[in-house]
Amino acid sequence: LRDADGTVRATIFAEMSALAAQHDAINLGQGYPDEDAPAPVTEAAIAAIRAGLNQYPPGRGTPELRGAVAEHRERFFGERRDPDTEVLITAGATEAIAAAMLALVSAGDEVVTLSPFYDAYAAMVGLTGARHVTIPLEGDDFQPTAAAIDAAIGPNTRMVLLNNPHNPTGSVIAPEHLARIVAAAARHDAVIVSDEVYEHLVFDDAPFTPIASIPGAAERCLTISSAAKTFRVTGWKVGWMTGPAELIDAAMAVKQYLTYVNGAPFQPAVAVGLGLGDDYFAEQRRTLAARRDRLSAGLAAAGFAVSPSRGSYFVVADAAPLGVSDAKRYARELTVERGVAAIPLAAFDPRSRDARIRSSLRFAFCRTDGQIDEAVRRLTSGR
């Protein structure tokens, strides 16, 4: 977490956002939406503050929000969870992942993630003293292979930390691979933690399969999600986990000493969001899919080899056809000289030797059409 000189290293998101601001670049790096949250959600938070909901909420989260999370899981994914014992509200998905990991993983254990992976995962594995093992995503669609799944998950695996839909690649892991992961985790008695913060951002009318819905998974799986992406409130840091009571209890034991509780006035507002009609969720998906298409076409026109994005906020573009082999350097160059910021894919697995990871960039399309068009203009014809 520190550089060689002892200074604390900024995350790649903070670093690239600062560089973008400094050079007045269009920021297609950090994944946060340009548009505000739906009005009923923000109004509910304002009303909650005015109503005096400003003190510690209950430790597991307000009964109202836990109930809304349970209803939401049943409505969209057919999963039934007891809001009293099988739901925990957390300070974003980030705290949920940290609490699960600190509760369940010890030094010397192995934690398996996909590669590339969300940057916080490696840092959290580091905090536990466990060994980080990865399953590489391969092909244009960034999927794991059966052989890689079986090779990574073994007798020392304590936790498989999955992320689906996947940041940074925009892939959605196929159900047959999820089933293979469940079988391997069951064989070695490993816990599955699935970070599904982009569960509602799956495009082209494709269904989304939560891994907890695969037979044999529910009893060993914690599913994590968050209000951040679904309701465009990345600054609120309200997340949740659902799963069997013993695993929830274990995470709760740690959560109470991490933040104790969080987000009192935001909890009722997120409950309002979870209860919005199907139209809200469908419309957000449609809007984002159109932006994905707009940016993907522009990146292809600018000479990148663009991978299909099936979900999330992100699309991967390989700069190898532009003669680039080191996308880390190229990302800085693009920001400073062209005025467009993106994240080098290598930031999501610095140890990877995969040439495509080293020459690719992650672009965020959760931006207005105007921002996307201007970014594409700069990439194709300069500032």
Residue 93's binding partner out of ligand GLN, ligand PMP, none, with CB under 5 to 8 Å set by partner kind: ligand PMP
Min dist. Cβ of residue 256 to ligand PMP (A)? 18
Asked if 9 contacts 3 with a C-beta cutoff of 8 angstroms, the reply is yes
Whole-angstrom distance, CA of residue 331 vs CA of residue 189: 41
118 binds ligand PMP (CB under 6 A): yes
Which one of the spans 76-84, 90-98, 199-207, 363-371 is the region binding ligand PMP (CB under 6 A)? 90-98
30 binds ligand PMP (CB under 6 A): no
Q: How far is CA 237 from CA 24, 40, 71, 197, 293, in A?
A: 27, 18, 21, 12, 29
Asked if 295 contacts 372 with a C-beta cutoff of 8 angstroms, the reply is yes
Reply yes or no: is the peptide bond before residue 168 cis, omega within 30 of 0. Answer: yes
116 binds ligand GLN (CB under 6 A): no
Min dist. Cβ of residue 118 to ligand GLN (A)? 6
Q: Scanning residues 254 to 293, which ones bind ligand PMP (CB under 6 A)?
A: none
Measured from the CB atom, the residue of 30 and 194 that comes closer to ligand GLN is 30
Helices (H), 155-244: 175-187, 227-230
* Binds ligand GLN (CB under 6 A): choice among 13, 76, 280, 281: 13
365 binds ligand PMP (CB under 6 A): no
What SS3 class is residue 74?
helix
Can you point out the beta strands (E) in 138-255?
157-163, 191-195, 221-226, 239-242
31 binds ligand GLN (CB under 6 A): yes
11 binds ligand GLN (CB under 6 A): yes
Min dist. Cβ of residue 122 to ligand PMP (A)? 13
Per-residue contact string for residues 148-167; x = within reach of ligand PMP by CB under 6 A: ---------------x---x
228 binds ligand PMP (CB under 6 A): yes
223 binds ligand PMP (CB under 6 A): no
Whole-angstrom distance, CA of residue 341 vs CA of residue 28: 5
What SS3 class is residue 27?
strand
Checking DSSP bridges between strand 110-115 and strand 157-163, what pairing results, if any? parallel
371 binds ligand GLN (CB under 6 A): no
Residue 211 CB coordination number (10 Å): 24
- Interface residue list for ligand PMP (CB under 6 A): 31, 92-94, 118, 163, 167, 195, 197, 226, 228, 234, 237, 239
